[in-house]
Structure formats: structure tokens, C-alpha cells
Amino acid sequence: LDAHCEVTYNWLPPLLAPIHEDRTTLSVPVIDGIDWNDFGIHPVYAKGSHSRGIFEWGFFYKEGTLPDKEAKKAAHHSEPYNSPTHAGGLFAIDRAWFEELGWYDPGLWVWGGENFELSFKVWMCGGRSVWVPCSRVSHVYRGHSCSSCGSGTLTNKFKGVPTTLRNYKRVVEVWFDDEYKEFFYTREPLAKLIDIGDISQQLKLKEEKNCKSFDWFMTEIAYDVFDKYPKLPPNKYWGELKNQATKTCLDTMGKHPPSVIGASGCHGGGGYQMIMLNTEGQLVNGEWCIKADGHDKITIAWCDMGRTDGPWQYLPDTQQMRHTKYDRCLALHPETRQLVLLACDENNLYHKWQWATITPHWARTKQDV
């Protein structure tokens, strides 16, 4: 368990019972929340409901309702049930089995991705992972961001390389089949620039234990991922989207959906200025979609669940971003400098956008500087 947890009465026997039944089981309690202000315990899940861990293609941990196929396997509602993955930090596993699996990959840095790595190799290498409704553990969640996780001493130690993204790539390169690797790189193009170090021991373990393919895992275990997060079409364009009149870049500014977005000075670091347009017309920043709310509001919004298409079309000859539903083009208003949709004018620089390659400082060679 994480140190910042509080267990409830009789939490341990139900957690260990599935391991006693099958030593290759990774057993996960149901996690309640502890308010960091007053340390009050608050259930996260609705009474009587069952959720399980899944993920989207950029490796943001997600949860979904237990599929009927899994629920029907249980004779009683309180029985442990299969889960593709878990949040990390709170689980039980047989020590010898954990050792057989190579523990956590020692090449992972700091934090991030270890929950996926362990989940994948447990399932693919002959084990199982279950959530246990009768084992309840409460966990304190941060009420603020972790300033040291992406800046300060850690950034200096690892020369600015995003440690979590590096970990994700390392897990992907070991456990994903080639087809699925491309979905990850579609969501995280800059990951291709990261050096993940030596993974030969992890690949050797995978071969020696005759582990199943990732396609088997997705088809037999994590099949419900596709309902929310379908296979991704490739990016047609990605990078900074720079307005030709102002030389500023489309920027979601760290806002949470649904929020109006804008443009700001181009910084070349990606992040909130990393814009991706796929071959089906979906325009995104990370896991969120860029949408038009009428003609006068361009917002960052939740993508339509289970869909990968969208209304955007980039016209390279005129450098315009056309919205096919409204038959208008993305523009910066010349007076307000707000993002809007206007009647397309190929002679107006405020309507013109140019894609620019992003190479973050941590990926530049001495020759680039």
C-alpha cells in the first residue's frame, strides 16, 4: 500500500483469498477517497456498482463499468472480478510470483507507467488481476499538483526529459504489438524522440515466459477499452499551429473542458500547443478535442466517446483550417484576437495557419542549438 492510506475493518482476508486460490493473482482493493483537508473518508463509487481499470492510448488511467460478460461469471455480487489494469500503489501479490515477473521494470524512472507494466505482464504471462469488492482501502489524493514531478530537481536530474512519458514508451515498446504501438505514438508523437534505454532484459523475460500477445490481451481481457477508446487513425498533421498574421500558436492554455481557448506566443515545447489533426478530421490536444461552439467560440472539450472522427479539414494550398459542418474557417479575429469561425478568405492572413515541427529542448542535439 501507499503510505498515505487507511484500511477498513477486515480489509486483508478478502484481498489475500484470491491469491490463496491462485498464486499468480494480482489482487486489488476497492479504493475510497480521503479528503486532504479534513481526512474524511468518502466513497468514490456508487453503492453496489462495480468498476474496473482500463486506459486510453496516451496511457491516462481510466475506469469503466464492469461489462456484463464479466458480471455474469460471478455467483455473488461480492465476488472478485477480472480487471485489465489498476491505478497502482494498492495491491497484493505473491512475492515469489512478483519475482518471477521481474518485479517492476528497474528501468522505469521515478513514477508513472508501473501499474500498466505490471498489469500487462501479469495477464500476458499467465496470471490474472482482480478487484476485490469486500476489501476497502482509503487513499489520500493530492489537492494540488506535484511541482517536483515535472520541474525543479527532477527536471535537472533527467535533463528535462519527461519521465512519465519515457516510462510509458518503455512499457509500450516491451508489451505492445506493432499495431498498438502506433496508437500510442499517434497520441504522443514526441515520445518517438525519447531514449528509453536498454529493454533487452524485459524482452527476454517476455520470450522466456512465452507471454501472450498484446492483441490477445485486448481481445480477451481489455475488450471494453475499444468501446470508449477505439483504435486511432493516424495523424495527418501534428505540431504547432501558427497563425500567419500574428505569428502566435493555437494554445489550449491548460484549461479544462469545456473552456474557450486562444492563441499565444509559440514556445516550441509542445504541451498545450501540441495540436494533432487525424485523417478523419478530429482536432485534438492530448485526449481532448478542439470544437466550435457556434461561430464565435472555439473550445477545448471532451471528445465524443467511442468516436475518432471530426469536422476539421486542413487545406495546405491555402493554409486554412476549415470546419466542414459550418463551412467556415478557423481565424483569429483581427480586433479581439479571439479564435472564431469566419467565412473563408484565402487572402486574409488571420485565416491562415501553418504547421510547425516541435522539437523540445530535451530532444535537441548540439547541432540544433
pLDDT of residue 319: 97
Cell of 72: 455474469
Q: What is the pTM assigned to this prediction?
A: 0.91
pLDDT of residue 369: 45
pLDDT of residue 45: 78
pLDDT of residue 154: 58
Contact 24, 18 (CB under 8 A): no
Residue where the block lists cell 494498492: 90
Q: What is the Cα–Cα distance from 190 to 179, expressed in whole angstroms?
A: 18
**C-alpha dihedral sign at 66, 302, 217, 171:** negative
Q: What is the Cα–Cα distance from 84 to 67, expressed in whole angstroms?
A: 12
Return the HEC string of 139-208: EECCCCCCHHHHCHHHHHHCCCCCHHHHHHHHHHHHHCCHHHHHHHHHHCHHHHHCCCCCCHHHHHHHHH
pLDDT profile of the chain (369 residues), mean per 10:
80 96 96 80 84 95 94 94 92 96 93 94 97 89 56 63 93 97 96 94 96 98 96 97 97 94 94 97 96 91 96 97 96 94 96 94 65
The bridge status of strand 128-140 relative to strand 25-34 is parallel
pLDDT of residue 365: 64
Residues in the chain: 369
**Burial code of 278-289, b = ≥16 C-beta within 10 A, e = fewer?**
beebbbbbbebb
